[in-house]
């Protein structure tokens, strides 16, 4: 396979993991009480996100105060907010792990050449996202992404989510690369 084909396959894999990530937020929102008509996934925007309906308008996370106020109104409790914000990271890690475990069960993890660059790309994307989240939050003195949003809600929840997410991604990467 040529480098260009591998690059495009990795881009597609990153887009799919973002879709899965946003679906995790969407699913957590629905489970914790957001009505289906008041939440949607926006994949053709940058950054991709989940939006919440407020009257005739759709609020996105970039509308920080309005989005958080609507989220609190719809979710009604701190637990719902924690799982809504953490839902993307949790779901993407769960699905990524299931795919790798499935490939392990069938004994094909190390025979699929493209799996190595895809795993590197997905893990790198996670670390880049977390780094940008921390840097932008530091620069703006406000939360920016999922991890810093979780830190604002609950430091314990933030670390209880991010540590396993990072460790699972690293274990998958190490396993696939060996």
Query: pLDDT tens for residues 51-104?
Result: 999 999 999 999 989 999 999 999 989 999 999 999 999 999 999 999 999 988
Q: Are strands 57-59 and 39-42 parallel, antiparallel or unpaired?
A: unpaired
**Angle, in degrees to the nearest 10, between helices 78-105 and 64-75:** 90
pTM of the shown model: 0.93
Tell me the C-alpha to C-alpha distance, in Å, between residue 77 and each of 82, 121, 175. 9, 35, 39
Per-residue model confidence (pLDDT) at position 178? 85
Domain boundaries, the chain: 3-33+77-177
Which tens digits make up the pLDDT trace of 2-40? 889 999 999 999 999 999 999 999 999 999 999 999 999
């Amino acid at each position: 396979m040529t480098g260009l084909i591998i690059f495009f396959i990795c881009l597609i894999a990153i887009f799919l993991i973002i879709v899965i990530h946003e679906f995790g937020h969407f699913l957590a929102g629905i489970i914790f009480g957001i009505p289906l008509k008041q939440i949607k996934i926006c994949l053709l925007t940058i950054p991709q996100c989940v939006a919440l309906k407020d009257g005739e308008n759709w609020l996105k996370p970039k509308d920080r105060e309005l989005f958080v106020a609507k989220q609190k109104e719809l979710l009604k409790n701190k637990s719902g907010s924690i799982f809504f914000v953490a839902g993307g990271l949790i779901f993407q890690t769960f699905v990524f792990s299931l795919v790798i475990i499935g490939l392990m069960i069938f004994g094909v993890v190390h025979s699929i050449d493209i799996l190595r660059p895809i795993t590197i790309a997905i893990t790198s994307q996670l670390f880049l996202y977390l780094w940008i989240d921390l840097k932008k939050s530091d620069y703006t003195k406000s939360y920016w992404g999922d991890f810093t949003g979780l830190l604002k809600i609950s430091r314990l929840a933030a670390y209880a989510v991010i540590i396993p997410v990072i460790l699972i991604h690293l274990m998958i990467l190490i396993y696939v690369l060996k």
